[in-house]
Every structure is written in C-alpha cells, then in structure tokens.
Amino acid sequence: MKYVTTKAELEAERLNWEKDGKTVGFVPTMGALHEGHLSLIRKARTENDMVIVSIFVNPLQFGPDEDYDAYPRTIDMDKALAEKEGTDVLFVPPVAEMYPQPPYNKVSVIKGTDVLCGKSRPGHFDGVATVVLKLFLLTRPNRAYFGQKDAQQVAVVKNMVNDFHLPVEVIASPTIREKDGLAMSSRNKNLTSEEREDATTLFSHLKIAEDRLRSGETNITELEAEMKRSLHNATSGTVDYLEILSFPSLTKELKDKQVIIAAALQFSKARLIDNIIIDI
C-alpha cells in the first residue's frame, strides 16, 4: 500500500493506472475506520482493479460549534486496517493541501438540504459536496463507495454527479450495525456508557415506524410526531429530528419508489444519525 499526502503523489499513481487501463474504486472517509468503512473497501476491492481510500477531516462541513477539533483521529490504526483490506493507495492530505488558500468557489446544494441533517446544519452539505467534488477530480474513480447510514449525503452526492455529468458511479452499501442494532460510527467512541445504552433506542424507533408503514399507516405527520415523542421519552439525548420522506428526492410527497425513515440524536459529545429505507 502506498501512503501519500500530496496531490502530486496521488496524480503520479493515478497516471500509471490510466496507462494500464485499470479501473479504480474510491472510498472517501474521515478516518477512525470501523467495520462500516472496511466493508466499503472490501466491496471496492472486489469490483475494481485498484482501490484508493482517502482520510480527510473536512473543516468545510463543520459548523462553528461542532466537533471538528474533537473528531477522532487514529491514523496509525487506520493505516493498518486499510492495508489489511487491500487498499492500493491511502491518500491522507493535510488541510493546506486540500485548501491551499481560502476558497473562491464552492458547491452550493440548493435542493434536499432543508430536511434531516441539513435543516439544523446550514452549510454542512455545501462543505460535503465541495470536498467530494475535489476528491473525485483528484482520484478520478470509476466507482465511489458510501455507507447508506449517511443517506442524505448519498442523495446529495448522487444528485451532484447527475447535475455535473461526473463520470463516476456512486454506490451506496447497507449500514453496518453492532449486535444490538446501533449503526457503527466514528462518533460512537464519544458516548458515555449510559449514552451508549440509550443510543440503541434510535434504531428501535426506526423499526417501529417501519412496521407501522408496512402495516398500512398513511398519516405520516401523526406517525412522525408520535415516534418523535416516544424517542424523546426513551432517551437522555436530544431528538434533533425524526422524519419520513420520499427517497432520494427527500420530499414530504411520497413520490419516489422508496421511503426513508431517518432520525438524529444529540448526546453530550456525540451526534448520532440513522435511517431505514424501504420500498413502497
């Protein structure tokens, strides 16, 4: 595995692969790798000749009161895990490499951000889309792999790819969970023992809402309100949202072939998100 930190080093590797006609799979991450990330690397490994994994904690997607400085950084462990899973190039740029000057331009996401995480994190998905576009241009992958846990992010990236005719296939893989149902996340490390027990109620409430929908519930507004009240009473965390939307359009009108049931909980030092996507 090659460990590179500069755009020039990455470009040198990428040019060699292009000469040989190699296909490239790309897994963008912010590090603190866990089984969810590793499952994406494995999938990329089976579907491409070469695999690039990036680790970059992107300051553009963090608000002024969010956990950028506290975000877990475990680069030595991450290098070992990435190499074990067959990564060809691990790209770990410093902030100055990705943003050598204050940006003159950024991607502005104008649809699909007034719900879910976007509603309480203004500008977050502009930062996500901007860094993903930069990483796509640097890595030039045939396929890029994301976890379905960040479903709104997946929708934003897919829509950006379609809008700008980017030559990359975006592949979303199912959420990887702990044995008790909690979605794996780098932020789980920041939970207290009591919060860790509480956190399982996030997924259990999504499952209850799923069962209600599959049983024929049609009053979406009432179901959302009921589930949000129940989740509030069942946890010490603060409920940011619990919403049921069409997917991937992320609208209240259930016009797509799928529905997303999504929720977010804020604990003392960790904000957890989760979702279930079902066919309708």
Return all residues near 50 (Cβ < 8 A) that are at least 6 apart.
Answer: 17, 22, 23, 24, 25, 88, 89
Q: Residue 236: which of 210, 197, 205 has the closest Cα?
A: 197
Listed in order, strand segments (DSSP E) in 58-157 are: 89-91, 143-147
Task: Provide the annotated binding site for ATP.
Answer: 30-37, 147-150, 176, 184-187
**CA distances for 221 relative to 108, 202, 273, angstroms:** 29, 19, 20
Task: Provide the annotated binding site for beta-alanine.
Answer: 61
Of 37, 124, 165, 232, which residue is the catalytic one? Answer: 37
Q: Which two tokens stand for residue 210?
A: 């799923």
Q: Which two tokens stand for residue 83?
A: 């190499």
Question: Measured between alpha carbons, how far is 127 from 107 in angstroms, rounded to an integer?
Answer: 7
Residue located via tokens 């996507």: 277
In degrees, rounded to 5, the angle at the alpha carbon of residue 107 between the alpha carbons of residues 262 and 139 is 90
Question: Measured between alpha carbons, how far is 255 from 246 in angstroms, rounded to an integer?
Answer: 6
CB 272 within 8 A of CB 199: yes
Q: Residue 149: which of 254, 271, 231 has the closest Cα?
A: 271
Catalytic-residue membership of 232: no
Return all residues near 276 (Cβ < 8 A) that are at least 6 apart.
Answer: 206, 207, 209, 210, 260, 261, 262
Question: Measured between alpha carbons, how far is 238 from 120 in angstroms, rounded to an integer?
Answer: 13
Task: Provide the annotated binding site.
Answer: 30-37, 61, 147-150, 153, 176, 184-187
Catalytic (active-site) positions: 37
